[in-house]
Amino acid sequence: MSIMRRVIERVAQVLPDRQQDEIHSARRYLGQPVDRLDGVDKVTGGARFSAEYPVEGLVYGAIAFSTIAKGVISHIDTTAAARAPGIIKVFTHLNTPAMKAPAPFSIGGEPSAGGSAVRILNTDRISWNGQPIALVIADTEERAEHAASLVAVTYTVEEAATSFERAIAHAVTPKDVLGESPELVKGDPDAALRSASHRVDLTFKTPPYNHNAIEPHAAIAVWEGNDRLTIFDTSQFTAGGANSLADIFGLKKENVKLLAPFVGGGFGGKGTMWFYNHLCAMAAREVGRPVRIALSRKGVFRIVGGRTPSQQRVAIAADSTGTFTAFIHEGFTAQSTDNHFPEQFSFPPRHLYAMQSYRIGQQVTNVNRVANTFMRAPGESIGTFAVESAIDALSYELKIDPIELRMRNEPETDPVSGHPFSSRYLREAYAMGAERFGWRKRPAAVRAQRDRGWLIGQGVATGTYPVYRMATAARLRLNDDGTVVIQTSCQEMGMGTATVQTQHAADRLGLPLDRVRFEYGDSSLPWAGVAGGSSQTISVALAVQDAAAKLVKELLSLARKNGGSPLAQADADDVQPANSGLFLKAMPAIGEAYVDILRRAGKTFVETEVTTGMPLESMKYSMHSYAAQFCEAAVHEETGEVRIRRWVGAFDTGSILNPKTATSQFRGGIIMGIGMALTEETMFDDRTGRIMNPSLAEYHIPVQADVPEIDIVYTDVADPKTPLGAHGIGEIGITGVAAAVANAVYHATGTRVTDLPITLDKLL
């Protein structure tokens, strides 16, 4: 643990908690299934995505990708490309102006978490198969694409590390795993494992996965002169993207504006810079025209990172009552040499079970592949596959019901840090889910249920995801027409950000929903962090909460300056927002409407702005979301085909702010998990390091026919340590899903599949 971290932890211990603050006015909108505010725009085509902005004089870029995994460009010939019709310019490493390395999270020049520091088109070195080697600008996209295919290149090929399996021999321990220790040990788990009466020791493999958002990555760059850049870029992090671009081009931060009002799905793949955006800006400046680069699906596979492959060992020892006497979870992931992101698969067991002894850690390998990145609950989704499959296996070994086994090992406090849980109702989630699913009717034995040629099985698994919060700024403006505008640079990628924050602000200020406007998706608005780590809802909520509290104070001081106001004698503690104004808590009929306070004061608006502090609460409490995933699977006896027949997801994620958007988030996560379990896999050709299936025809994500009805239930118990009592819920849905599928398949067939995806060949 770093010294800095230790100091912050010390400080956190002595500071009072920021308790969840109750909204004084009644919750009128929060907790209600309010329709998405952007729903109509999206279904009518009114919502504009990055590639769709009409910009005058637009020209188009297309990228040529390397076909080797490692080496040096020895010769590149652009003559034919430059002569093709409509070509404006061809950029290669020979004529591209120098740019600083992309710094996804402003870690200039350093290998960066979840992004890549390769200096694209500023180097003749090739680090992965698919690296951009040329960028062609033309008057149409088709002409640019054609000319890109005419770029002729020869390489001096070097031996590349293309195989993860082979790279494991050279694995190293990373200096940290997302700031946490790469290995934790308590007691002697190896000895405990050897002497145990019951044990499992299994090795699991998960393949690489690629991002397939419905909106492929795209940007349009427009310059004013040489020092002001506006870029429409599909981004999960408008402020971070703008900062990175300012850094790359040496611009003042305030001179870069990144706009992403709508994002067609991110899932981690749009959290950092992925070359197309800064190449787009570079080209636009060089050719003196606005440029668009819209990646094809194949282009996304070539230059946008996805999930690392993993190999994980889980060994658990238990006594005859099922108590875990040893817990070992260790293994490997892959990253590229220009990246530092050992995906945190070893995080789940750090917080899930009481363990008498443990070794929990991970190592990392370097491969010549595009940098791996954040993807759909990085760490927890692949980590829970291994851990929750192993626990299922142990339950058969012990002849204890798999839910009962988990409940017998529920910890009182965080098993590694010892911190109290801020909120943990996993027991309740299991009870709710089991009831809904009809778990009691499940026979204990495997291969015990058949239905016309199909073997039927039921499996469960625990899901978990941390509660993250980030420092966030928000501006709140109350106008003299009684409307409120909230501004923060955060992102809407389909999860309902604007809807929930509008519900929140309306309740907090006692306003009707239609009096509140939420503005976001623009880097020039007050700073919000990445829409990642399922952190955005509570991060923005706290900023809105603080900005609203400040607004109330300012309004009151205006009222106090005016003897005629019924609030002239009131203190901040005496009043509460309600009915579009401030009213006395003790005498709710006495108060004044916002518009009247402003009118008396002769003001057209009042504005407040705040920045929230660091999440010190997470240094003091173990803060997580939980899920109990219930799956019924059918496996065809002759073909080995797996169909998911039923699903119940029972979630413990604090207060549910909008049951409609929340349920949709949970379902979406479960569907992604079904893809992870059954169909998705990025296939690399080990000879060349090339991705062999870079299209939706060959990389299979679940379609409607693969997804059963998904039943969602939740505990809806407020977490006293989080804003609004809520947790982020973007990622918890996928966690535990692959294990629940594997466990149901085992129950159906008696075959334990330990390497994803669970394809029929593994069941024959």
Residues near ligand MOS (CB under 6 A) are 236, 266-268, 271, 374-376, 378, 532-533, 731
Sheet with strand 516-519: strands edge to edge = 516-519, 484-487, 473-479, 605-611
Question: Nearest approach, Cβ of 269 to ligand MOS (angstroms)?
Answer: 8
Secondary structure of 93-115 in HEC code, one letter for each residue: CCCCCCCCCCCCCCCCCCCECCC
Q: Cis peptide leading into 402, omega within 30 of 0? A: no
Q: Cα 402 to the chain's mean position, in Å?
A: 29
Scored b (16 or more CB within 10 A) or e, 322-343 reads bebbbbbbbbbbbbbbbbbbbb
- Considering 388, 680, 681, 731, which one is annotated as catalytic? 731
Neighbour count for residue 163 (Cβ, 10 Å)? 17
E strands along 532-590, which residues?
575-578, 581-584
Question: Nearest approach, Cβ of 264 to ligand MOS (angstroms)?
Answer: 14
Pure H helices in 33-171:
39-44, 79-83, 141-148, 164-167
Residues 6+ apart with CB under 8 A from 528: 238, 239, 470, 472, 473, 474, 488, 489, 490, 491, 520, 536, 539, 540, 543
Structure tokens at 682: 């990025």
CA distance 250 to 531: 25
241/268 with CB nearer ligand MOS: 268
Scored b (16 or more CB within 10 A) or e, 639-675 reads ebebebbbbbbbbbbbbbbbeebbbbbbbbbbbbbbb
CB 732 within 8 A of CB 651: yes
CA separation, residue 641 to residues 447, 678, 700, 710, 742 (Å): 15, 10, 15, 20, 13
Neighbour count for residue 171 (Cβ, 10 Å)? 18
65/237 with CB nearer ligand MOS: 237
Which of 291, 316, 295, 219 is CA-nearest to residue 260? 219
**Helix, strand, or coil (residue 689):** coil
DSSP for residue 23: P
Question: Nearest approach, Cβ of 73 to ligand MOS (angstroms)?
Answer: 33
DSSP for residue 70: S
689/728 with CB nearer ligand MOS: 728
Question: Nearest approach, Cβ of 731 to ligand MOS (angstroms)?
Answer: 6
The dihedral sign for the CA sequence 195, 196, 199, 205: negative
Question: Nearest approach, Cβ of 352 to ligand MOS (angstroms)?
Answer: 20
Residue entry with tokens 């971070």:
240
Question: Nearest approach, Cβ of 121 to ligand MOS (angstroms)?
Answer: 27
Which helix (H) or strand (E) segment is 136 a member of? strand 132-138
385/746 with CB nearer ligand MOS: 385
61/463 with CB nearer ligand MOS: 463
AA identity, residue 357: S
271/299 with CB nearer ligand MOS: 271
281/756 with CB nearer ligand MOS: 756
78/384 with CB nearer ligand MOS: 384
Structure tokens at 565: 């106001």
Told to judge if 410 belongs to the known catalytic residues of this protein, a careful annotator would answer no
Output the CA angle 547-551-556, nearest 5 degrees.
155
533/649 with CB nearer ligand MOS: 533
Beta strand 684-685 pairing with 454-466: unpaired
Output the CA angle 328-305-497, nearest 5 degrees.
90
CB 699 within 8 A of CB 212: yes
CB 732 within 8 A of CB 464: yes
Residues 6+ apart with CB under 8 A from 587: none
Neighbour count for residue 140 (Cβ, 10 Å)? 12
164/267 with CB nearer ligand MOS: 267
Angle in degrees, 0-180, between the axes of helices 737-749 and 659-678, rounded to the nearest 10:
50
189/271 with CB nearer ligand MOS: 271
CA distance 283 to 685: 32
Q: If you count them, how many residues does the chain have?
A: 764
266/689 with CB nearer ligand MOS: 266
Closest residue to ligand MOS in the complex (CB) = 268
Question: Nearest approach, Cβ of 267 to ligand MOS (angstroms)?
Answer: 6
376/477 with CB nearer ligand MOS: 376
Catalytic residue numbers read: 731
